[in-house]
Chains A and B, each alone.
Chain A
Amino acid sequence: MSTEPAATAPLSVEGLTTSILVGTTWYDAVRDISFHVRPKETLALVGESGCGKSLTALSVMGLLPPAAVRVTSGRIVVDGVDMTAADEPTREAMRGDRIGMIFQEPMTSLNPVLPIGFQVGEALMRHRGFTRRQARERARELLELVRVPAAAERLDAYPHQFSGGMRQRVMIALALACGPRVLIADEPTTALDVTIQAQVLALMADLQEKEGLALLLITHNLGVVASVADRVMVMYGGDVVESGPVHAFFARPTHPYSEALLAAMPRIEGDLPLQPIPGQVPSLTEMPVGCRFQTRCPIRDERCAVLPPMTTVAGDPDHRVRCWARVEA
């Protein structure tokens, strides 16, 4: 792992708050989150639906639906460019060039009526002024890079002629076309079968190493996190509740939500009894004041009405948790 300081990391987010308009009121769906991702590093953003992990990714990409969602405060710096201060043409120039994104559904993210080769090369024509021929040549190299078999022959194939796993490879090729420094992957393997998921995850790890990518991986699957991430951030109700290096986190999950989430996961080995988390995530309009997990927390007390700060775990400055009961003396 590189020791590059946070300020010069390819992706750094400082105090990001993103709000959603419900009726006539703005509610904070992502609250004051900060992180950075270094080259060759994978940061996993993990949590259940509604925790704000995808919204964070969209905020970074500047792809929020303008009328109903907005970044209310914070700074997002991608490869030295402040995305929050930039105008739309600048952000557009960044997307697909310095920062790439892959989505959960490779079918709906590809245009069904355009050949694969063209779609992969399109960003190069847009951002790098490649000619059609140059773009096609580079597209072939990219498809080979993501190990699509018989890449040259499949440049003229259409998305429906590819299987789900192959389409996700194409999406990766597309995201990497301009050699971005940052890749955001939003549930990239969730729609895939496990054996294909393993292949795609291996491919991503391999490419990341080769290209020196900073990878922000958004997932609900703690198994995937354990397999590929270097660091993890657990989100609940728009807050980061725990963050730390993967080994430290799994060795010592500290926030009650992290513990509960791990206990709720059925495993294929070991003998841990399944422990559901009671209740459900409150809707955005009914979030409690203070710690948002308090409505389902087994160890809540009166302190939880105030949002706890992030504090260190076991004296490890990298492993931090947001819980009054876990504040170390």
Chain B
Amino acid sequence: MSETLLSVRDLRKIYKTRRGWPIPRTALVRALDGVSFDVRPGEALGVVGESGCGKSTVARVALRLQEADGGSVTFAGADVLGASKSELRALRRRMQMVFQDPASSLDGRQRIVDALGEPIRVHGIAHGAAVRPLVARLLDEVGLPKSALDRYPHEFSGGQRQRIGIARALALGPDLVFADEPVSALDVSVQAQILKLLETLRRERHLAFVFISHDLGVVRYFCQRVVVMYLGRVVESGPVPEIFVDPLHPYTRLLKASSPEPDPVKAVAMTFQEGEPPSPVDPPKGCHFHPRCPIADARCRTERPELRDFAPGRTVACHHVG
């Protein structure tokens, strides 16, 4: 096994919410409840799960957009969570992010050349007239013409804007990009263009990705390994082909069975029991998934299953597997 670029260990993030009237009660939301995974150089790791599972929080905490409440994040040997302001600035050149909604992640008042040139200037990579050609090269790399330089974000379509967002993430020459649902706001035909682009960048730049998505099909196409999250915990992880062929955790199986395929012969299985996904505000005891799980027993209701190695490279957190 090759070396590790990013190592996340036992990451915790707790939000406090106050709800109730007239006397508000403080409730704790365990958005991340001991999450661990590794990313290797040049590898795309998928993080999948449904809303509220904490998959976006992973990226935000690992990038220090929010402070963690426990655990550690190590990037290329450096402690990210304990980094000082100047250390963090240096780390951020190597760790970047692509957002879901490119319309919201670009400053509408900046021309493209300024939006992409700003990080280059701020980090002292180039100055003055040297910036423009660098930006033009970035645009070319993401498949946009030079004429885009002097235009504003609103003049582009959603797919083009996402290309700009990707180019901006590349501006500092990162080794790792967190991509938070980068294609889910796009139409299918454009989504495929962006996925192809990301795949090319991954190979040519030897770029590693933490690819956050709710769409199993997209993850299967783009990622080599995948981490499945449910209510703040990792329930299963492993290589993409194996997990997609033979999911171990009942939740992973449910996800797979629920994802509609464009084939009327394989109609979506609707055999799982009904019921709402529990809220992360007040997660069930024991295994978080047990209220929806077809094979849950008494142990699942009281004892939290630990993430265990099942096979080389595969881990699963279920009392009934392995």
Contact = CB atoms under 8 A, between A and B. Distances in A.
Tell whether any CB of A sits under 8 Å from a CB of B in the complex.
yes
A298 to B, nearest CB: 13
A310 interface: no
Contacts of B214: 193-194
B163 to A, nearest CB: 11
Contacts of A303: none
A223 B189 contact: no
B217 A280 contact: no
A221 interface: yes
Given A199-B270, A201-B270, A226 B189 contact: no
Nearest to B190: A280
Contact of B277 (A48, A195, A222): A195
Contacts of A274: 192, 195-196, 221
Interface stretch (B71-79, B168-176, B255-263): B255-263
Interface stretch (A55-63, A66-74, A263-271, A313-321): A263-271
Nearest to A223: B260
A266 B192 contact: yes
Interface in A220-267: 220-228, 246-247, 250, 260-262, 264-267
A285 interface: no
Contacts of A147: 274
B259 A226 contact: no
B262 to A, nearest CB: 4
Contacts of B274: 147, 199
Interface residues of B, number: 45
B276 A163 contact: yes
A325 to B, nearest CB: 19
Nearest to A266: B217
Interface string A191-216: 00111111101100000000000000
Interface string B127-165: 000000000000000000000000000000101100000
A49 interface: yes
A79 B255 CA distance: 39
A276 interface: yes
A85 B168 CA distance: 53
Nearest to B50: A193
Given A199-B274, A227-B268, A222 B262 contact: yes
A264 B189 contact: yes
B195 A250 contact: no
A48 B187 contact: yes
A159 to B, nearest CB: 15
B276 A165 contact: yes
Interface in B197-232: 214-218, 220-222
Given A227-B268, A266-B218, A194 B259 contact: yes
B279 interface: yes
Contacts of B220: 266-268
B17 interface: no
A261 B188 CA distance: 7
Contact of A266 (B215, B254, B275): B215
Nearest to A251: B264
B231 to A, nearest CB: 12
A55 to B, nearest CB: 16
A116 B51 CA distance: 24
B255 A226 contact: no
A212 B252 CA distance: 35
A155 interface: no
A201 B268 CA distance: 9
Contacts of A221: 260
A275 interface: yes
A66 B77 CA distance: 62
B258 A198 contact: yes
Nearest to B267: A227
B268 A198 contact: yes
A267 B217 contact: yes
Contacts of A260: 189
Contacts of B157: 280
A166 interface: yes
Contacts of B258: 194-195, 197-198
Contact of B262 (A48, A195, A199, A226): A226
B105 interface: no
B269 interface: yes
Given A265-B188, A274-B192, 18 more contacts: A194-B50, A195-B50, A196-B50, A198-B270, A220-B188, A222-B188, A227-B264, A227-B268, A247-B264, A264-B191, A264-B192, A266-B191, A266-B195, A266-B220, A276-B193, A277-B189, A277-B190, A278-B193
17 contacts: A166-B276, A193-B214, A195-B254, A223-B268, A225-B262, A226-B263, A227-B268, A264-B188, A265-B262, A266-B220, A269-B266, A275-B192, A276-B189, A276-B193, A280-B159, A280-B189, A281-B187
